């Protein structure tokens, strides 16, 4: 099934527009039994094996572990790891800029300090030094509540996405499909008195094809129901467990987008958050969502690592995994500098119109 429908961008929560206050700590919900909402119009996907353990003897009888319980325990552990791997990206306009502030999410995908986010969040980093340094201030926040912790620079932002969506920062209600909507950042420093850690908790990009009905953990710094002061001072991460309800393609038969209906993670501010499976692999990057009405009707959409890798190969003629492993973070940032300036000019021209 080809996915052509445009959905509201689950972007940066526009700070100036959020008026309903909500408070609370991050919540971890226990995974329930896996549902099986298999849709007839979806092609069958390769299943993933369930971790198994050897039977143990109890009074002379072999006890076979319950696969569903093992799966539930694995997913709970993956959700706990995701909670440690997600960060908040917080961008504020400076020096009289007319841009709105933004709050989005991201997830560590590499122990060295590489984080993956949506391109419509990452594009703010193109404006941190244009037309002069300090027009927009973007920081990486961590913890519960989110506190300013690190600085970061772009390693990659999809040129295909920016060229097709350069007006998102000035549109009142930007739309998008999620296609090519990803960016990668590298940590460059710390805003605290502590040195950068030698390694970070992370979730690797997955290689398995997720299936409809498969239970996943979803993590982000959701902010739709928060007032701007709450986002600034008391923003907590959200971790929920739910089942994949649909899959879509941008091509013909590839799985490029996962959909989860009725999840509390389908909110503004969740863009750039992660979806992980029971094997602790990142199987989706949150990019778009329908967020009107009751939360039970919200639908979260996340692009798959397959799509991210294919998009990178299309624009860069290179393998994403090999490229990221080929150099240290400082070199990766430097390698992107020429593309950075090109994309910066495209974005700045769109804002000036």
Q: pLDDT at residue 48 above 80?
A: no
- The domain ranges of the chain are 7-37+66-352
Per-residue pLDDT tens over the stretch 70-129? 999 999 999 999 999 999 999 998 876 677 889 999 999 999 999 999 999 999 999 988
Determine the pLDDT at residue 134.
66
Nearest to 305 by CA among 245, 260, 261, 254: 254
Determine the pLDDT at residue 28.
32
Determine the pLDDT at residue 60.
57
Per-residue pLDDT tens over the stretch 187-198? 999 999 999 999
Q: Which residue has the higher pLDDT, 170 or 216?
A: 216
**What are the φ and ψ backbone dihedral angles of 232, each rounded to 5 degrees?**
-70, -35
Q: Which residue has the higher pLDDT, 294 or 344?
A: 344
Determine the pLDDT at residue 80.
97
**What are the φ and ψ backbone dihedral angles of 230, each rounded to 5 degrees?**
-70, -40
3-state secondary structure of 47: coil
Q: What b/e readout covers 68-93, taking b as 16+ CB neighbours within 10 angstroms?
A: eeebbebbbebbbbbbebbbbbbbbb
Q: pLDDT at residue 33 above 50?
A: no
Q: Which residue has the higher pLDDT, 307 or 66?
A: 307
Instruction: Copy the structure tokens of residue 112.
Output: 């060295």
Q: Which residue has the higher pLDDT, 324 or 352?
A: 324
Q: Which residue has the higher pLDDT, 288 or 352?
A: 288
Q: Which residue has the higher pLDDT, 288 or 141?
A: 141
Q: How sure is the predictor about 26, in pLDDT bands with cuts at 50, 70 and 90?
A: very low
Determine the pLDDT at residue 121.
96
* % residues pLDDT > 90 (the chain): 61
Q: Structure pTM?
A: 0.82
Task: Kindly state the average pLDDT of the residues 19-42.
Answer: 30
Task: Check if the beta carbon of residue 302 is closer than 8 Å to that of residue 258.
Answer: yes
Instruction: Determine the Cα angle at 184 with ends 183 and 190, to 5°.
Output: 130
Determine the pLDDT at residue 170.
83
Q: pLDDT at residue 5 above 60?
A: no
Instruction: Copy the structure tokens of residue 202.
Output: 């992370």
Q: pLDDT at residue 49 above 60?
A: no
Task: Kindly state the average pLDDT of the residues 304-316.
Answer: 98
Task: Kindly state the average pLDDT of the residues 316-345.
Answer: 97
Determine the pLDDT at residue 37.
33
Q: How many angstroms separate the CA atoms of 260 and 211, rounded? A: 12
Task: Check if the beta carbon of residue 165 is closer than 8 Å to that of residue 350.
Answer: no
Q: pLDDT at residue 17 above 60?
A: no
Determine the pLDDT at residue 248.
96
Determine the pLDDT at residue 15.
38
Q: How sure is the predictor about 268, in pLDDT bands with cuts at 50, 70 and 90?
A: confident
Task: Kindly state the average pLDDT of the residues 20-43.
Answer: 30
**7-37+66-352 architecture in CATH?**
Beta Barrel (2.40)
Q: pLDDT at residue 154 above 60?
A: yes
Task: Kindly state the average pLDDT of the residues 213-230.
Answer: 90
Euclidean distance between the first and final Cα of the chain, in Å? 37
H or E element: which one contains 176?
Answer: strand 175-176
Task: Check if the beta carbon of residue 15 is closer than 8 Å to that of residue 102.
Answer: yes
Q: pLDDT at residue 22 above 70?
A: no
Instruction: Copy the structure tokens of residue 167.
Output: 């007006």
* % residues pLDDT > 70 (the chain): 81
Q: How sure is the predictor about 23, in pLDDT bands with cuts at 50, 70 and 90?
A: very low
Whole-number average pLDDT of the chain: 83
Q: Name the β-bridge partners of 276.
A: 217, 282
């Amino acid at each position: 099934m080809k996915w052509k429908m445009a959905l509201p961008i689950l972007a940066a929560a526009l700070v100036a527009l959020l008026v309903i206050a909500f408070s609370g700590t991050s919540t971890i919900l226990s995974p329930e039994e896996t549902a099986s909402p298999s849709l007839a119009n979806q092609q069958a996907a390769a299943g993933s094996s369930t971790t198994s353990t050897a039977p143990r003897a109890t009074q002379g009888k072999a006890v076979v572990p319950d696969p569903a319980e093992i799966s539930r325990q694995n997913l709970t552990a993956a959700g706990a790891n995701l909670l440690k791997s997600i960060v908040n990206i917080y961008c504020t306009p400076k020096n009289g800029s007319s841009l709105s502030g933004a709050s989005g999410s991201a997830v560590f995908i590499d122990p060295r300090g590489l984080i993956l986010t949506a391109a419509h969040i990452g594009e703010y980093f193109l404006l941190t030094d244009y037309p002069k340094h300090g027009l927009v201030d973007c920081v990486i926040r961590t913890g519960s509540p989110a506190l300013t912790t690190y600085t970061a620079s772009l390693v990659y932002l999809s040129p295909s996405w920016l060229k097709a969506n350069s007006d998102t920062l000035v549109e009142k209600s930007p739309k998008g499909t999620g296609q090519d909507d990803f960016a990668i950042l590298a940590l460059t420093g710390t805003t605290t008195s502590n040195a950068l850690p030698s390694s970070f908790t992370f979730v690797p990009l997955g290689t398995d094809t997720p299936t409809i009905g498969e239970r996943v953990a979803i993590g982000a710094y959701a902010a739709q129901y928060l007032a701007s002061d709450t986002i600034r001072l008391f923003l907590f991460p959200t971790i929920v467990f739910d089942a994949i309800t649909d899959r879509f393609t941008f091509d013909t038969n590839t799985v490029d987008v996962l959909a989860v209906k009725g999840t509390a993670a389908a909110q503004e501010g969740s863009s750039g958050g992660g979806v992980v499976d029971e094997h602790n692999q990142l199987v989706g990057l949150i990019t778009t969502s329908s967020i009107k009405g009751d939360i039970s009707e919200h639908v979260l959409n996340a692009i798959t690592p397959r799509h991210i890798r294919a998009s990178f190969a299309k624009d860069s003629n290179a393998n994403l995994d090999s490229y990221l492993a080929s150099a240290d973070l400082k070199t990766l940032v430097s390698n992107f500098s020429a593309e950075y300036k090109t994309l910066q000019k495209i974005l700045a021209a769109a804002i000036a119109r």
